[in-house]
Amino acid sequence: MTDNDDTSINEKNIKIFIRFFPLEKPCDSCARVDMKHKKIYVRRLQEIQSNRIAVPKKPSYWCFQADGIFCDSSQEEIYRVTTEDLVSKILDGVSCVLMGYGQTGSGKSFTISGLRNNWEHRGLVARLLSCMFAEKANRRKVSKIEYHTSFVELYGKEARDLLASDVDNNKVKINEREPFKDISMVCMNNEKEGLRNLFKGEVKRSIARDSAYPASHLATSVITFHVTNTSLVTSWGIVTTAKIHIVEAAGIGTVGRNCCCWKTATDIGVANLMKIQLEQFFSYVGRSRSSVVNVIRSSNLLKILGDTTLVSSVIRFISHIRITREDLDITLSTLRFTAKIARLKPVRIKKDVRYRSDLILHRLQEEVNALKKELMLNDMFLRQEPLMNISKARMKQINRNILQFLNDKISDFTLFSVSQAQVLLKNIKDLYNRLSAKEVEVEKLKETYETLMRSVSEVGSAETLPKETELLADEQINERKRIRSLSDEEDTKKKEIGSLDKSTIGVTLGPYADEEKNLKMKRFMSSKHILKIDDENILAVRRLLDTFLKEEIEYTKIKRKFDKNEKTLAVVRQRFTHEIDKYFQAKRNLDDARDKLSKHRQIRQIMDVDSWKGKEAMFEIERTIERDISCYQKVLINLEEEVDQTQREIDILYNRHLDMSSKLEYGFREYCKRKAFLLHYTDKLMNILLIPTKESSDIIRYKFDKFQRKMLRRTEETGRTKKVRLDNKRICASANL
């Protein structure tokens, strides 16, 4: 059982699944499946032997448990049950293994790769690839996700890199500590590139001739997706790395059987040996470390899988069996291997999570600065200066610093001992006492002023104004009110009596001109198809834009340049962000060095330099700091030039962006007018149309079919070439005889 953060406690990290090969006439008495599809009952071999004398009254069965049994299930259902949850796990830093194994001709290639199937029956690898890039698109704002792929074919002690550029020399040596050191890891930027790599490797796989199936593979293939997920959230800046190995094991069997007649004894023996090595490995896991190491050293498959085959990773096994009387022994062998794996006791899932190196460096730098300040404070407290030794000039300087600080002329100042702090507190207390005394004086003056005002008002109330003066004052107030009311009425009476017609200078139209314009606009809009660029109609407008780009070749070229410019602009902006961070970091370093130099100079001025033994050392420290300041200044100048250059580059790219977007917008408007469409949109919504969208399932399906046809053609050409070579060798051999 697992107990990690992402999965529930009851979820297992090792799951076993069984898939039946569909047959026209399966042997119903050989195997049975319960109603929940969690148990399979297989008939005992002893009871169905032809030379058996005693016949039992009731048949007996072996019972094998699994997490899921697929009798007649679609590829989509199998993917949903077995593989769909692995995408989120590998992005969280959990390595995974998906392995398909079983008898020859039981449908392993159909289930795992499915690259020779049609689109509806494509395998788990292609479906997993689609989900990986869909999740990358969903997390693009919070994570930077990178995918790499490798494709290896294993046959005994030999290993071939199927994605190597050199076709003739693609054999590699698997290193135990660094298995992917000599193996090609190809970057995948989109789903199209991923499918191209898969089909490129599928063409180079070894296939048995004269098989009963379109392609019967002779060797084991391992497709590995290397995933790196870097968080863009600064407060949670982590990097997770993981791998998911998709293993399609070579088919096991018995020499001479009908299902294996097209394979040689060597091919079947190599496949059976790999199965035995896997059985030994899982038998020794958790028991004997030395035995596990010995088994890993003897198997290239285990070297590639590495730590992901341990129970601390997520493992999915899909057993493929054929329910026939002839294949019952191989079916039992496969299910016993499955039962051994299911009995393993899993432990807590391990995640490969690391913090971002740049954020760690920044945090360590902050800790170093904090420790430096702490050392300075400790030095200050340990070296206390007596009050009597503080000079009068220093006391006056502290007093001036206090006044400048209170008047916001300086932001801070430095004290070099506890004694100077005592002087500071004493001066602040003196200032407070003086301020309190002044406040008392102000209160007394206020009381004196209030008594004088009361006496003046009492004297003024005794005298009365003449009647004529009062009447004149009332008339003036009424006149002002009347003038104000008239001005308000004039403002309310002001109305728009017409609008200026731009076509005729000096002529104004009546108040009904706007209504006529609105009426004409309504008639015009009623005669057009109105498309509003919003969430409801965005797909229709996007399809209209795609049609416009297909019909207008000139604007298609502009759109390609626009997309290329957008990618370049995104890269340059990211570079600009890194350069800005470096610039501010260099500026902080320069400010810290200047502060450090000023503090050392203040210390040298305050102390008695003539009697101090470390005079030369102090000057040497100051000279070192000055050299550091000059270096920081040069670095800052270089960074300023880089930032300016990048800013100019961004301006050029952005101007191109505006120019091309305006051209595309104008062309799209004219196209809509010709097609009798009227668009209502804003600049923001128009920009949404120009953003490159992820490829739809129809496009991916078209590319899948295209790569598949190309792969089949190359396979046929390779087969014809090999046949011609064999014929030539036979002719040469007969001629020599």
| DSSP structure string for 47-104 | GG-TT-----SS--EEEEE-SEEESS--HHHHHHHHTTTHHHHHHTT--EEEEEEEBT
Q: Which residues contact 268 (CB under 8 A, 6 or more apart)?
A: 104, 252, 253, 254, 255, 260
**For the residues 411-434, what does the mean pLDDT come to?**
77
> Is the pLDDT assigned to residue 120 strictly greater than 90?
no
pLDDT confidence bin for 669, thresholds 50/70/90: confident
Greatest mean pLDDT among 313-322, 562-571, 725-734: 313-322
- Could you tell me the two tokens for 170? 């693609």
pLDDT at 606: 63
Cα–Cα dist 651/639, whole Å? 18
Orientation of helix 683-690 relative to helix 538-551, angle to 10°: 60
Dump pLDDT digits (tens) for 69-103: 998 888 899 999 999 889 999 998 888 999 998 88
Cα–Cα dist 517/515, whole Å? 5
Dump pLDDT digits (tens) for 579-634: 887 888 888 888 888 888 887 777 766 655 454 455 666 777 778 888 888 888 88
> Is the pLDDT assigned to residue 245 strictly greater than 90?
yes
88 annotated among ligand-binding-site residues: no
Q: Provide the terminal-to-terminal Cα distance of the chain, rounded to the nearest Å.
A: 68
pLDDT at 226: 93
DSSP state of 691: S
Sequence-distant contacts of 167-176: CB under 8 A, at least 24 apart: 167/204, 170/204, 174/300, 174/303, 174/304, 175/303, 176/296, 176/297, 176/303
Which of residues 567 and 649 earns the better pLDDT score? 649
Pairing of strands 353-355, 238-248: antiparallel
pLDDT at 149: 94
Which of residues 78 and 689 earns the better pLDDT score? 78
Which of residues 638 and 505 earns the better pLDDT score? 638
SS3 at position 512? coil
CA atoms within 13 A on the CB side of 733: 6
Orientation of helix 328-342 relative to helix 265-284, angle to 10°: 30
Cα distances from 561 to residues 196, 290, 556, 667, in angstroms, run 24, 59, 9, 15
> Is the pLDDT assigned to residue 14 strictly greater than 60?
yes
109 annotated among ligand-binding-site residues: yes
> Is the pLDDT assigned to residue 682 strictly greater than 60?
no
- Could you tell me the two tokens for 350? 């391990």
Greatest mean pLDDT among 304-308, 430-434, 598-602: 430-434
Cα distances from 610 to residues 590, 601, 607, 613, 615, in angstroms, run 31, 15, 9, 8, 8
- Could you tell me the two tokens for 353? 């999570």
SS3 at position 529? strand
Dump pLDDT digits (tens) for 446-502: 888 788 777 766 655 544 444 444 444 455 556 555 655 655 555 544 444 444 444
Q: What is the pTM of this model?
A: 0.59
Average pLDDT, the chain: 76
108 annotated among ligand-binding-site residues: yes
pLDDT at 113: 87
- The domain 14-351 belongs to what CATH superfamily? Kinesin motor domain (3.40.850.10)
DSSP 271-312: HHHHHHHHHHHHHHTTT-HHHHHHHHHT-HHHHHHGGGGSTT
104 annotated among ligand-binding-site residues: yes
**For the residues 545-552, what does the mean pLDDT come to?**
80
Cα distances from 17 to residues 78, 120, 236, 417, 722, in angstroms, run 9, 22, 37, 75, 38
> Is the pLDDT assigned to residue 125 strictly greater than 90?
yes
Instruction: Name which of 115-119, 474-478, 550-554, 648-652 the model is least confident about.
Output: 474-478
103 annotated among ligand-binding-site residues: yes
pLDDT at 594: 84
Run of H or E including 264: none
Q: Domain spans of the chain?
A: 14-351, 549-694, 696-736
pLDDT at 309: 64
> Is the pLDDT assigned to residue 678 strictly greater than 90?
no
106 annotated among ligand-binding-site residues: yes
Which of residues 729 and 425 earns the better pLDDT score? 425
Cα–Cα dist 106/213, whole Å? 11
CA angle 711, 712, 717 (to 5 degrees): 100
**For the residues 417-434, what does the mean pLDDT come to?**
79
Percentage of the chain beyond pLDDT 70 is 72
254 annotated among ligand-binding-site residues: no
- Could you tell me the two tokens for 615? 């005079």
For the chain, what percentages of helix, strand and coil (3-state, to nearest 5) are there? 55, 15, 30
> Is the pLDDT assigned to residue 225 strictly greater than 90?
yes
- Picking from 268, 220, 243, the residue whose alpha carbon sits closest to that of residue 99 is 220
